[in-house]
Structure 1
Amino acid sequence: MKQAGSILIVDDNPDILIAARLLLKQHYQCVKTTDDPFKIESIINEQKAAEQSVDIVLLDMNFSQDAISGQEGFYWLKKIIEQDASIVVLLMTAYGDIQIAVDAIKAGASDFIAKPWQNEQLLGAVAAAFSHAKDKQQVGKLTRQTQGLTQALSGQQFDFLGQSEAMQQVFSLIEKAAVTDANILICGESGTGKELAAHAIHQASLRNDQAFISLDMGAVSNNLFESELFGHKKGAFTDAKSDRIGRFELAHQGSLFLDELGNLPLSQQVKLLAALQNRQISPIGSSQVIDIDIRLICATNDNLAQAVAEGRFRQDLLYRINTVEIRLPPLRERQEDIPLLVNYYLNHFGQKYKRELTVAPSDLNALSRYSWPGNVRELAHAIERAVILSDSSVLDISSVIGNVSNTPATGDLATNSAESTVVDYDTFDLEVIEQRTVRAALKHFQGNVSHAAKALGLTRGAMYRRLDKYGL
């Protein structure tokens, strides 16, 4: 039985090409030959496009008549390595100079073969080269996976906390769903801790010893969605300088978390649906099909049912991703959790910035009455800034978020006179900024949606979507 693998023989002597091909074709599935070294690049690319990448190149060291220096061989060796470092090169020459052999190996060749060869010698050298090629390919794959995992796993991770009845219901639902492989959709306002919930699901699942890979769909430009999800091959498009492993492949046998799924364009939704149905992907620029085994967890702050009605989201994809739906309550609906969260983040950021701080009861009461439109993310940000800016051992939270004691925790803030106290600190969370801007516009135009939408540069439809999104 022939061994899987592809060999390219490059020599200007047709007798050498015929002899080597006849010998190696008996043992290996694909053996290509050329007498023109300028065709090496195109043959390698053609083989790669046919999903039969060249593993070994047998390369003559001299192509010009009467040349004996081997410099041509060194030149083409360098070109091959630059094109694809995973290819193993065996150099051939009729002049068995030991110094040339040493220099060839230093330049990146796997071995050196003197012509004429003994068949057993050539077969042994090629077999060793194939073993080397597999090692190089595995190292290359592991390197790409490590780079992808490093990128995918980066970011700060907090605990998923809560003692309120609302959160206990969430924890109970997570406990029941996590031990299955059911697809889960996490819904909730921005900042409610959807990624923390996804981590909790993964940790409670049977896949907790495998990778948890996340992708924020809202942070990926439209033309990169497919590459991020499924990967790409080198040269598949202009900026594809090297192979890239997609998030699906990185998450194989683990969990894949797709945050802000509502941002996925319709053109990509059908590809995601096909991958989930078939449990297979194909990187861009490749006809290779890769089997995938993942547990899918998605999250959104969008109303996907409404998005389906508006034609922005596929109904069949929604059915596929929300076998179990978990809604995370906003912080204003679980005020009894605020002291727990304040103390948790105070301890966390105190350790980070090497500060020992306490919080005054009056400030803790004020924080508990605050509406927290940015939810847990806003609270964590506020505590971190307070830890940094506090001059004493007692946390001065008022210097960060203003006089929160006058801000109600519930009610329509668009018409509340305390609105000005809500915006008394810097935030770079676009969701929070948008929500506050919409509230302010409604207040300014005394609830007139048409006037507020025009002032914000929005259509009435876009304005109503935001009113629904923020519960206004």
Structure 2
Amino acid sequence: MTSLLFVDDETKLLRILSSYFTKKGFVVHTASTGEEARSKLRDADARIIFLDLRLSDATGIELLQEFVPRYPNKLFVIMTAYSDVESAVTAMKAGAFDYVSKPAKMDELEIIIRRACEWLDMKQENRTLKEKISKMMQDQEMIGVSPAMKRVFRMVERAAETDATVLLEGESGTGKSRIARMIHRWSDRKNQPFVSVNCAALPEQLLESELFGYEKGAFTGAHAKRKGKFEAARNGTIFLDEIGEISLPLQAKLLQVVQEKSFMPLGSNQTVHVDVRIIAATNRDLKTMVEEGLFREDLYYRLNIIDIFIPPLRERKEDIPPLIEQFLDKQRAKYNKPFTLPPELIDRLVEYPWPGNVRELENAVERAVVLCRDEQLSIEDFPREIRHAKPDRPPSDIALDPTKSLPEQLESIEKKLILDALEQTGGQIAAAARLLSISRQRLMYKMNKYSIR
């Protein structure tokens, strides 16, 4: 249940606010002075605080400057009279979440409270995610700050809590093996073996013996009994990379392991039971392979209990700068040199499409470090295809209209941007104003000018 604190020297207004929002299900605290507000914030767990700009013993801005750094997990809203707009702007710069003009309408306050609650919840979610990302960085697993990778990390977290089979899909070099290790490290099996098998690296006969082991004399050259990878991964995790490359006969045997957690080694008539978590990965479209008869449908659905798609790097460009920094840190530690990249070079690397994804980026950074003449990398240190790549600039959707003057066309563009901002913020004017980096009053003036309701 959300707790509110209203700070205002009008006791009648405080009674009205307390009564109204208590009926709405909120826990409401009130204070009529700055000193009382300090006491209430120490003792009451209020998440959202409404501050009047003019109090008997302090100003709202003074309290805001005091409270914001002290209570970073709370949100502060300024209540101001119409004549105090300039002060309200100052308060926003001092860290206020929003402001509302007095006399305030209850429905307007409710909208602000709802948005503030959503913001606090999102902030808590981001804090949790940052802790996860920090943990990943410590483990040197994988970095991702884009919305797409945050979704991947949430799926990884959920998958790690279970023993369900996981199928990782994505282009080569996107980091599927790192995601697999991450799932293992976050799971209850983290202290048990993690065994990785590249199914594309071995011919069928060798792959079968590698996975399931064999008895002495099972085939020419089998001079002694040998355990396979499934037994090596007992109580832990086995990672089957490039699962789409295995043959149909071997798929049938693998299906039994996935379903029954049991198999027979080559040359043996004894069934071996294993407790193992299976993670598979592929850069191929298994669904299409099923339709073409190249991959068993029953095995596909048994592997695809939890499906995690890792997007290519070109679709999450905001991840490129932190990845570059991670790879540079690795090289700094290796060579004991403070390697750097100028901002314009980072911008150029962000624009490159990276067909080889994260693996190509890591290799390119390592190559540049080896070839650079000093401690600052240049574009000449990177591979030829990167040096010669042309910036990928999206075509402009702004077309010249010869029937309109320049001011008329600029107004059309401005109106479209305002409509887009309002759509993105669900019609919330204050949020749209922040998105456009203009004041709320200026946005309302523009909306009235363009007849936007």
Q: How would you bin the TM-score normalised by the shorter chain? A: 0.5 to 0.7
1:215 maps onto 2:200 in alignment: no
Superposition TM-score, scaled by structure 2 size: 0.54
- Residues 326-382 of structure 1, C-alpha deviation per residue, up to 9 Å, x if partnerless? 000100010011000001001112222343311111111111110000000000000
**How big is the shift at 1:243?**
2.2
The 5 A counterparts of 1:29-68 are: none
Task: Give the SS at the match of 1:307.
Answer: helix
Q: Which moved more, 1:325-334 or 1:394-403?
A: 394-403
1:407 maps onto 2:385 in alignment: no
The 5 A counterparts of 1:419-434 are: none
1:245 maps onto 2:263 in alignment: no
* Alignment partners' CA distance in 2, 1:300 and 1:202: 18
Are residues 362 and 322 of structure 1, via their aligned partners in 2, closer, same or farther at CA, if it must alter by over 3 Å? same
* Alignment partners' CA distance in 1, 2:217 and 2:378: 55
* Alignment partners' CA distance in 1, 2:140 and 2:347: 23
**How big is the shift at 1:234?**
2.3
The 5 A counterparts of 1:84-233 are: 158-233=140-215
Are residues 175 and 410 of structure 1, via their aligned partners in 2, closer, same or farther at CA, if it must alter by over 3 Å? farther
- Residues 7-26 of structure 1, C-alpha deviation per residue, up to 9 Å, x if partnerless? xxxxxxxxxxxxxxxxxxxx
Asked if 1 retains the 8 angstrom alpha-carbon contact of 2:141 and 2:179, the reply is no
Task: Give the SS at the match of 1:394.
Answer: coil
2:266 to 274, 284, 292: 284
2:252 to 262, 267, 270: 270
**How big is the shift at 1:190?**
0.4
Asked if 1 retains the 8 angstrom alpha-carbon contact of 2:236 and 2:276, the reply is yes
The 5 A counterparts of 1:297-376 are: 297-376=279-358
* Alignment partners' CA distance in 2, 1:311 and 1:362: 49
* Alignment partners' CA distance in 1, 2:393 and 2:158: 32
- Residues 291-345 of structure 1, C-alpha deviation per residue, up to 9 Å, x if partnerless? 1111110000000000001110000000100101000010001001100000100
Superposition TM-score, scaled by structure 1 size: 0.52
* Alignment partners' CA distance in 2, 1:292 and 1:272: 13
Task: Give the SS at the match of 1:218.
Answer: coil
**How big is the shift at 1:235?**
2.0
Task: Give the SS at the match of 1:316.
Answer: helix
**How big is the shift at 1:280?**
1.0
**How big is the shift at 1:404?**
4.1
- Kindly provide the amino acid, as one letter, of the partner of residue 310 in structure 1: E
Asked if 2 retains the 8 angstrom alpha-carbon contact of 1:170 and 1:327, the reply is yes
Task: Give the SS at the match of 1:319.
Answer: helix
**How big is the shift at 1:387?**
1.1
- Residues 364-412 of structure 1, C-alpha deviation per residue, up to 9 Å, x if partnerless? 111111000000000000011111111101013433223547434588x
Task: Give the SS at the match of 2:368.
Answer: helix
Are residues 410 and 183 of structure 1, via their aligned partners in 2, closer, same or farther at CA, if it must alter by over 3 Å? farther
Q: Which runs of 5+ in 2 are unaligned?
A: 1-138, 395-453
Q: Which moved more, 1:383-392 or 1:324-333?
A: 383-392
How many residues get paired? 256
Asked if 2 retains the 8 angstrom alpha-carbon contact of 1:158 and 1:196, the reply is no
* Alignment partners' CA distance in 2, 1:322 and 1:256: 15
What is the RMSD of the two structures over their aligned residues, measured on CA atoms?
1.8
* Alignment partners' CA distance in 2, 1:258 and 1:207: 17
The 5 A counterparts of 1:3-42 are: none
- Kindly provide the amino acid, as one letter, of the partner of residue 291 in structure 2: A
Asked if 2 retains the 8 angstrom alpha-carbon contact of 1:331 and 1:372, the reply is yes
Task: Give the SS at the match of 2:382.
Answer: helix
Are residues 232 and 314 of structure 1, via their aligned partners in 2, closer, same or farther at CA, if it must alter by over 3 Å? same
* Alignment partners' CA distance in 1, 2:288 and 2:172: 18
* Alignment partners' CA distance in 1, 2:361 and 2:142: 14
Task: Give the SS at the match of 1:395.
Answer: coil
* Alignment partners' CA distance in 2, 1:242 and 1:408: 58
* Alignment partners' CA distance in 2, 1:364 and 1:291: 51
**How big is the shift at 1:238?**
1.1
- Kindly provide the amino acid, as one letter, of the partner of residue 313 in structure 1: F
1:383 to 365, 369, 385: 365
* Alignment partners' CA distance in 1, 2:215 and 2:328: 46
Aligned match of 2:423: none
Asked if 2 retains the 8 angstrom alpha-carbon contact of 1:252 and 1:293, the reply is yes
The 5 A counterparts of 1:459-470 are: none
Q: Runs of 4+ in structure 1 displaced over 3 angstroms? A: 402-406, 408-411
* Alignment partners' CA distance in 1, 2:205 and 2:328: 41
